[in-house]
Amino acid sequence: MKIVMLGAPGAGKGTQAERLASEYGLPHISTGDIFRKNIKEGTELGKEAKSFMDAGRLVPDELTVRILLDRVADDDCKKGYILDGFPRTIPQAEALDSELEKLGEKIDFAIDVDVPDENIIKRMSGRRACPRCGATYHMQHVPPKKDGVCDECGTELVIRDDDKPETVKNRLAVYHEQTQPLVEYYRKKGVYHTVDGTADVGAVFDSIRSILG
Ligand code: AP5
Ligand code: MG
Q: Please tell me the distance between residue 14's alpha carbon and the centre of ligand 1 in angstroms.
A: 6
Q: Specify the ligand 1 atom closest to the Cα of 52.
A: 27
Percent of the chain with pLDDT over 90: 94
Q: Is the CB of residue 175 less than 8 Å from the CB of residue 183?
A: no
Query: Among this protein's residues, is 187 annotated catalytic?
Result: no
Domain of residue 97 covers: 2-27+74-115+176-212
- Give the CATH number for residue 94: 3.40.50.300
Does some domain include residue 189?
yes
Tell me the CA end-to-end span of the chain in Å, nearest whole number.
11
pLDDT in the model for residue 117: 93
How far apart are the C-alpha atoms of 50 and 92, rounded to whole Å?
Answer: 19
Does some domain include residue 122?
no
User: What band does 6 get if pLDDT is binned at 50, 70 and 90?
Assistant: very high
Does some domain include residue 143?
no
Evaluate if residue 122 carries a pLDDT over 90.
Answer: no
Q: Can you name the residues that pair with 49 across neighbouring β-strands?
A: none
Go through 121-156 and write b for each residue having 16 or more CB atoms within 10 A of its CB, e for each that does not.
eebbebbbbbebebbbbbeeebebeeeeebeeeeee
Distance of CA 65 to the CA centre of its chain: 15
Residue nearest atom 39 of ligand 1, based on CA coordinates: 12
Q: What is the pLDDT of residues 130-187, one digit of tens each?
A: 999 889 999 999 999 999 999 999 999 999 989 988 999 999 999 999 999 999 999 9
- Which pTM was predicted? 0.95
Helical H segments across 55-200, by residue range: 61-72, 90-102, 117-125, 165-174, 181-188
Tally of structural domains, the chain: 1
Does some domain include residue 104?
yes
Does some domain include residue 102?
yes
Does some domain include residue 18?
yes
Ligand 1 mutation target, pool 53, 67, 123, most atoms within 8 A of CB: 123
Does some domain include residue 111?
yes
For 182-206, what is the mean pLDDT?
Answer: 98
Does some domain include residue 67?
no
How far apart are the C-alpha atoms of 85 and 192, rounded to whole Å?
Answer: 15
